Amino acid sequence: MKICILRPLVWGSMAISGLFNNVYAEEEVIESETIEVIGITPTHGVGLPEEMIPYEVQSATNDDLDRTKSLDLSDFINRKMGSVNINEAQNNPLQPDVQYRGFTASPLLGLPQGIAVYQDGVRVNEPFGDTINWDLIPESAINSINLIGGSNPLFGLNTLGGALSVTTKNGFTNPGHRAEAYGGSFERIVSTIESGGNNGQWGYFFTTSYFQEDGWRPESESDALNLFGNVSWRSIDSTLDISLSHGDTELRGNGPLPIQLLEIDRETVFTSPDITENNLFMINTQGTHWLNSVTQVSGNAFYRSNDADSFNGDGTEFVDCLSEGGPAGFLCEEGDPTPIEDQNGNQVSSSFDAINNFSTRDQKSFGGTLQTTFLNNLIGHRNQAIFGGSYNQGIADFNSQVEIASLDANRKTTRTGILIPDESTVIKTHTRSWAIYLTDTFNITDDLALTLSGRYNNTSVVIGDRNLDNPSPELNGEHDYERFNPAAGLTWQFHPEISVYGSYSESSRAPTPIELACADPNAPCNLPNAFLADPPLEQVVTESWEAGFRGRLNPLINWQVGGFHTRSKDDILFISTGGVSSNEGFFDNIGDTRRLGMELGLDGRWDKLDWSLNYAFVHATFETAFAVSSPNHPFAVNDEIQVSEGDRIPGIPQHTLKLAGDYAFNSRFSVGGDMVYNSGQYLRGDEANLLDTIDGYAVVNLRGNYQISNRFSVFARINNLFDTDYETFGLLGEPDEVLGPAFDDPRFLGPGAPISGFIGIQVEI
């Protein structure tokens, strides 16, 4: 199948190349200019200057990451990039929910994923739920970052709010050898080693990074090991890179706290443990070749495997059978008087007050992309055309079990070995996607450029039940989705230092296997475990308008101001029907949603100070009225609340402000810092906006660096300098099920980390 798809692309690319060369062979060839270009497709290729791109792009390099001393990629974009905020739902620094323009890229199943993330042209959204594991993208391997705004169809499925494209280092871009280590609060120790070099034709790069900490709350020990290696080859007209990635992480997250418990002790834990283990292997081959001076072929082929295991202890979802009209002293499902049975056919005592959820996800994906770029003049005007296609397959084996347990004095679950066969799930999913895309940027004049783009996506999702002991044939299903998404934009450099841009774009995402396997309101499931049915869901289609100005106030100050309007049709939401942490429910299309926003960015240099400012206003709302299940809401009627058109989407702050700066006292000593402000947001489960928002907050971070010699430097970092108490998100739950009737406030809040300090050393050779 893969060969059948890609071979016509090669022939088509060559045919178009020949057509352009024959028709315009006498046209003047565009001369190379030493200007910075930005990749406008996942494969990057030739790229375009920023002033010719009709949408907002924020870029950063490995030097920017090193200067901020950020923990990882998600930490960096949260501190430095506009319209980005973080919800610490897991309360682990390597497992944040990252939101951009009100769309999410999260490691957690159950959240609607609206951002496509690429590493060297490989889409690293996991095949089972489009989730993103930030712990598997090592910062020490990153060479550059592009955060691309809008529903850009060129980046394929999931690009509803934007795309994050990362390129990694190689021996040509990053020669040299470096080691870095730092430690401090929470018993955190982080170390990295990297080495790269080339002889003009062959190059290599290798890095290893290790993270370990005890965390600032109990039961928070985590560690993460990442290895990345690259072998490169360069010639006059060709490049070839082969990279290997390996990740082995074990992360513990404690999640939010009931607000009444939070007021007693911010560092305590509601229930534990909550452990996620990832084991990644990825190989990626990418290359470029100039067929002639105006035609480049580029592409990649990859294989990626991630085995993810989770173990989550929680309050029980079962009740004493007496409350349901059954025999006393045994556990029943709510609404059913029949006692549940364990794997041996025995009825389970009601003395147990907790459960352990176990799940394994063996996810494998493979595929590739091939594109051709043409730089021929068109009717006497500069023109860049890109034609390409991609093919991807994702296979996931999912297995889950529920174990009956008890909570100890610290609300940590015990192990009993008592399993509930009726709650087990074994499924296999197969996702296949192929696409063809085209983009053309035509210079109407030297200062005015028109860009037209389009992408056709074809996706198939197959779900099969594999549970021999507790078969669920209703899970079996095949779902097909297809769509052509267009885009058009204009840029105009009407002044040497000012340009204006505007664009319209569409993108879509097919429902993921987890959403399709948990979409029946009459058979709710527990995330991320039991799946019960797979009625069809509609794919989400997003339409986006964007416009703005950008330029320079002087040679040292850059600025950008813009606005966007994004509307998603048939948006998908996880609707809670209960559970201690509101993790029981189903996925459903809930109508239209809208993100309306404005962005302002400034950066520059004044004397010895490098500084930046980013402000964003994001108004995210439901645009279709609907009744939604929210059994833990204090104002619910028959366990439902009524959402009205215009109600704000929970978890998204309207206002975000970021200030950052670094001051060099001399060539050896510099001090810097940043401030992040987020306004209040509504709680998940309060889609009708009937409760107060979470308080807004501002966090200040400080850093310093001293260059001892050309090879040695020491650095320090203080996070949350003023030890601010703040919360990054909230939801509604049932704390009384675990803590007793005195804890009757259903609000759960995710606390932010207290003040922390770290000191380290860096050695360069």
| pLDDT tens-place string over residues 469-483 | 777 777 788 899 999
Residue type, 591: G
* Phi and psi angles of residue 197, each rounded to the nearest 5 degrees, phi first: -175, 170
- Identify which of 524, 432, 528 has the alpha carbon closest to the alpha carbon of residue 479: 432
* Phi and psi angles of residue 4, each rounded to the nearest 5 degrees, phi first: -65, -35
Q: Which residues of 618-634 are buried (b: 16+ CB within 10 A; e: fewer)?
A: bbbbbebebebbbbbbe
Query: For residue range 557-609, what is the model confidence (pLDDT) as tens digits?
Result: 999 999 999 999 999 988 877 666 666 778 889 999 999 999 999 999 998 99
Residue 21 has pLDDT above 70, yes or no: no
**H helical segments located in 690-754:** 736-739
Element (H or E) spanning 300, and its range? strand 295-315
Which pLDDT score, from 0 to 100, does residue 575 have? 84
**Do residues 154 and 78 make contact, with C-beta atoms less than 8 angstroms apart?**
no
Decide: helix, strand or coil at residue 753: coil
Mean pLDDT (whole number) for 73-85: 96
Which pLDDT score, from 0 to 100, does residue 432 have? 97
Query: For residue range 499-509, what is the model confidence (pLDDT) as tens digits?
Result: 999 999 999 99
In the chain, % of residues over pLDDT 70: 92
DSSP 8-state symbol, 533: B
Which pLDDT score, from 0 to 100, does residue 3 have? 34
**Do residues 30 and 385 make contact, with C-beta atoms less than 8 angstroms apart?**
no
Strand (E) positions, 2-155? Answer: 37-38, 48-49, 57-61, 84-87, 97-100, 103-105, 115-119, 122-123, 142-149
Lowest mean pLDDT across 26-30, 118-122, 207-211, 454-458: 26-30
- Identify which of 632, 618, 532 has the alpha carbon closest to the alpha carbon of residue 575: 632
Query: For residue range 147-204, what is the model confidence (pLDDT) as tens digits?
Result: 999 999 999 999 999 999 999 999 999 999 999 999 999 999 999 999 999 999 999 9
Mean pLDDT (whole number) for 239-260: 96
Which pLDDT score, from 0 to 100, does residue 587 have? 85
694 to each of 74, 680, 684, how far by Cα in Å? Answer: 22, 5, 11
Lowest mean pLDDT across 281-290, 525-534, 721-730: 525-534
* Residues facing 60 on adjacent strands: 145
- Identify which of 529, 527, 329, 330 has the alpha carbon closest to the alpha carbon of residue 422: 529
Mean pLDDT (whole number) for 708-735: 95
Looking only at the bridges linking them, the beta strands covering 162-168 and 498-509 are unpaired
* Phi and psi angles of residue 288, each rounded to the nearest 5 degrees, phi first: -135, 155
Mean pLDDT (whole number) for 243-268: 95
Strand (E) positions, 376-447? Answer: 383-405, 418-419, 425-443
Decide: helix, strand or coil at residue 498: strand
Which pLDDT score, from 0 to 100, does residue 527 have? 56
Which one has a higher pLDDT value, 423 or 120?
A: 120
The mean of the pLDDT values for the chain is 91
CA pair distance 673, 701, nearest whole angstrom: 5
Residue 468 has pLDDT above 90, yes or no: no
Which pLDDT score, from 0 to 100, does residue 581 have? 62
- Identify which of 267, 221, 262, 225 has the alpha carbon closest to the alpha carbon of residue 247: 225
**Do residues 371 and 385 make contact, with C-beta atoms less than 8 angstroms apart?**
no
Which pLDDT score, from 0 to 100, does residue 20 have? 37
Which pLDDT score, from 0 to 100, does residue 32 have? 40
- CA atoms within 13 A of residue 376's CA, in its CB half-sphere: 20
Which pLDDT score, from 0 to 100, does residue 531 have? 44
Mean pLDDT (whole number) for 502-519: 90
**Do residues 617 and 579 make contact, with C-beta atoms less than 8 angstroms apart?**
no
Which one has a higher pLDDT value, 677 or 422?
A: 677
DSSP 8-state symbol, 735: T
DSSP assignment string, 642-675: EE-TTPBPTT--SEEEEEEEEEESSSSEEEEEEE
Question: What is the band of 522 on the pLDDT scale with cuts at 50, 70, 90?
Answer: low
CA pair distance 229, 149, nearest whole angstrom: 30
Instruction: Please name each of the domains of the chain with its CATH number.
Output: 2-316+352-764 (2.40.170.20)
Lowest mean pLDDT across 268-277, 478-487, 576-585, 626-635: 576-585
- CA atoms within 13 A of residue 233's CA, in its CB half-sphere: 8
Which pLDDT score, from 0 to 100, does residue 19 have? 37
**Do residues 509 and 540 make contact, with C-beta atoms less than 8 angstroms apart?**
yes
Query: For residue range 313-335, what is the model confidence (pLDDT) as tens digits?
Result: 988 889 999 999 999 999 998 88
Which pLDDT score, from 0 to 100, does residue 16 have? 37
CA pair distance 353, 580, nearest whole angstrom: 12
CA pair distance 180, 510, nearest whole angstrom: 42
CA pair distance 89, 104, nearest whole angstrom: 12
Which pLDDT score, from 0 to 100, does residue 584 have? 73
Give the pTM. Answer: 0.92
Looking only at the bridges linking them, the beta strands covering 189-198 and 176-184 are antiparallel
Which pLDDT score, from 0 to 100, does residue 583 have? 66
CA pair distance 331, 212, nearest whole angstrom: 40
CA pair distance 558, 603, nearest whole angstrom: 5
DSSP 8-state symbol, 15: H
Instruction: Report the 3 state secondary structure along 432-446.
Output: EEEEEEEEEEEECCC
Residue 661 has pLDDT above 60, yes or no: yes
